[in-house]
A and B are shown apart, each in its own frame.
Chain A
Amino acid sequence: DIQMTQSPSSLSASVGDRITITCRASQDISNYLAWFQQKPGKAPKSLIYDASSLRSGVPSKFSGSGSGTDFTLTISSLQPEDFATYYCQQYNTYPLTFGGGTKVEIK
């Protein structure tokens, strides 16, 4: 199985900050990576697929990059509605696997 490791597991940031979350795959997954946002008690929301393609309706302050084993999610200018937990997920092979999540909290 492909292991997905996210870092950090949590971070504190202020409104207006730019943050970067890292996701590392245990083997090459090309660009078959997605990012999700989840708020407490809510279903995940799809943000990015194919490592860097923004899903329709997702603000351009979200961006993704990377290929192979190393990927990043960047959020420019954090807003109050961006404080949530973020997950990466590989879909290169079954079983599909998620990273452990990164909780973004208000400083």
Chain B
Amino acid sequence: EVQLLESGGGLVQPGGSLRLSCAASGFSFSTYAMTWVRQAPGKGLEWVSTISGSGGATYYADSVKARFSISRDNSKNTVYLQMNSLRVEDTAVYYCAKGVIGAAGVFDYWGQGAQVTVSS
């Protein structure tokens, strides 16, 4: 059974940093791209970042580029999202999602989400 479990969320002041983790199980982790998607309170879904199975390719939304960094440790079956210079508008539930073979942008499984609140 595929499982994705996010952790690392919390309350942080503007300008602060936070690192989210998404621990995966139930599939051959290094074979699949992984993605972070966020949802601000009462709003729709927003793609944040994607990383290829090997970690050699990464993609970012303009809204987070140069502030966020996606990485993965295939030995630990975990994908990370390092978030720096956080802004109030980064407040959201952050979901990790698993890609499918041959299509990094197609998601078949999602985690339960991690709440990130940026506030002074």
Contacts and interface: CB of A to CB of B under 8 A. Distances in A.
Given A32-B105, A43-B113, A44-B95, A49 B47 contact: no
Contacts of A95: 47, 59, 61-62
Majority secondary structure, B binding face: strand
B44 A101 contact: yes
B47 A98 contact: yes
Interface string A88-104: 01010011111111000
A95 B47 CA distance: 7
Contacts of B100: 49
B27 interface: no
A59 B100 CA distance: 20
B106 A49 contact: yes
A71 interface: no
Q: Is the interface of A mostly helix, strand, loop or mixed?
A: loop
Name the interface size band of chain A: 20 to 34
A87 B59 contact: no
A96 B110 contact: no
A46 interface: yes
A26 B44 CA distance: 18
Closest 4 CB pairs of A and B: A91-B105, A96-B47, A43-B110, A98-B45
Given A44-B110, A101-B44, 19 more contacts: A32-B105, A34-B106, A34-B107, A36-B107, A43-B110, A46-B107, A49-B100, A50-B106, A55-B108, A87-B44, A89-B47, A91-B104, A95-B47, A96-B35, A96-B105, A98-B44, A98-B45, A99-B44, A101-B45
Interface of A: 32, 34, 36, 38, 43-46, 49-50, 55, 87, 89, 91, 94-101
